[in-house]
C-alpha cells in the first residue's frame, strides 16, 4: 500500500462515525478508570460508561441487521445513547466532579458523533434534501 493510500485511509477512518465512536469509548474508559471510589463518581461513571460504549456497539450491531428498519433502529438507539452521554458529561462538569477542561472536549466530540448519526438517519429515512 502506498503512502497516499494509507493517508487517505487514515483520513477516512477519522471521519467514520464507527471509528470515532470507538475512540470516544476508549477516552471515556480512560476518564472513568481514574475516578475516586465515591458513590457519586461510581454511579455517574457507570452510567457514562454504559451510554458512551452503547453508541459504537449499536452502530456495529446495525451492520448485522436483518432489515433496513432494523438497521435504522440501531442507529436511533446509538443517537439516544449519544444524547444520554451528553447528559452525564454535563452533569459531571456542572457538579464539578470533573473539571471543564476535561469534559468540554468530550462533550464537543459526542455532539459531533451525534450529528453524524443524525445525518445518517435522515439519509436512511429519505428526509435529507
pLDDT digits (tens, 9 = 90+) for 87-107: 999 999 999 999 999 999 999
In the predicted model, is pLDDT for residue 78 greater than 70? yes
**Which of residues 127 and 69 earns the better pLDDT score?**
69
Q: Residue 128: its pLDDT value, please?
A: 62
Q: How far apart are CA 120 and CA 111, in angstroms?
A: 14
Superfamily of domain 3-124: 23S rRNA-intervening sequence (1.20.1440.60)
Q: How far apart are CA 22 and CA 62, in angstroms?
A: 15
User: Minimal CA–CA distance to 85: which of 57, 123, 66, 124?
Assistant: 57
Could you give the percent of the chain with pLDDT greater than 70? 87
Note the helical H segments in 16-129: 17-32, 39-62, 68-94, 100-124
Q: Residue 2: its pLDDT value, please?
A: 42
Question: For the chain, which residues make up each domain, given as ranges?
Answer: 3-124
Amino acid at each position: 500500500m502506498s503512502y497516499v493510500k494509507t493517508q487517505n485511509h487514515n483520513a477516512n477512518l477519522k471521519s467514520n462515525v464507527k471509528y470515532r465512536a470507538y475512540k470516544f469509548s476508549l477516552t471515556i474508559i480512560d476518564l472513568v478508570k481514574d475516578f475516586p471510589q465515591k458513590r457519586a463518581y461510581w454511579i455517574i461513571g457507570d452510567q457514562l460508561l454504559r451510554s458512551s460504549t452503547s453508541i459504537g456497539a449499536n452502530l456495529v450491531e446495525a451492520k448485522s441487521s436483518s432489515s433496513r428498519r432494523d438497521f435504522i433502529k440501531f442507529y436511533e438507539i446509538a443517537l439516544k445513547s449519544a444524547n444520554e452521554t451528553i447528559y452525564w458529561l454535563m452533569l459531571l462538569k456542572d457538579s464539578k466532579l470533573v473539571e471543564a477542561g476535561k469534559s468540554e472536549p468530550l462533550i464537543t466530540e459526542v455532539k459531533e458523533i451525534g450529528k453524524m448519526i443524525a445525518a445518517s438517519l435522515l439519509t436512511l429515512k429519505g428526509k435529507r434534501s
